[in-house]
Amino acid sequence: NAGVTQTPKFRILKIGQSMTLQCTQDMNHNYMYWYRQDPGMGLKLIYYSVGAGITDKGEVPNGYNVSRSTTEDFPLRLELAAPSQTSVYFCASSLETRAPGNTIYFGEGSWLTVV
């Protein structure tokens, strides 16, 4: 029962480096999300996707890119890492069925430090 799996769990990047956070879900959810969590700020939506081939910006998209080539995978790309991107990143998914109050399921998080 894997749910939402994201890798790596921990990573240290140098300023200007690039990396991709991987996310995959095995629940056949059409909606997927990337959030960042900073102390006292809650969760901020970076990007989301409503299905394969469709992505859209969230509240804080600058410095990130995403793609959704399959239903299962939703990688998050950091092109030129900056210290402001030091954060904990969560991938999540949900099933959009028009039923009331669909639950969003989270991965275990990726701790990223940019130095």
Partner 1 sequence: AQSVTQLGSHVSVSEGALVLLRCNYSSSVPPYLFWYVQYPNQGLQLLLKYTTGATLVKGINGFEAEFKKSETSFHLTKPSAHMSDAAEYFCAVSRNDNYGQNFVFGPGTRLSVLP
At its nearest, how many Å lie between partner 1 and the CB of residue 88? 9
Which among 30, 89, 32 is positioned nearest to 64, based on CA atoms? Answer: 89
* Of the candidates 49, 48, 34, the residue with the CA atom closest to the CA atom of residue 107: 34
Q: Which of 50, 80, 82, 115 binds partner 1 (CB under 8 A)?
A: 50
Contact set for partner 1, span 55-114 (CB under 8 A):
90, 92, 94, 96, 98, 100-109
Identify which range of 19-27, 41-49, 61-69, 78-86 contacts partner 1 by CB under 8 A: 41-49
Please report whether residue 27 would count as binding partner 1 according to CB under 8 A: no
Is there binding between residue 31 and partner 1 (CB under 8 A)?
yes
In the complex, what is the shortest distance from the CB of residue 91 to partner 1, in angstroms, rounded to a whole number? 9
- Chain residues binding partner 1 by CB under 8 A are 4, 31, 33, 35, 40-43, 45, 50, 90, 92, 94, 96, 98, 100-109
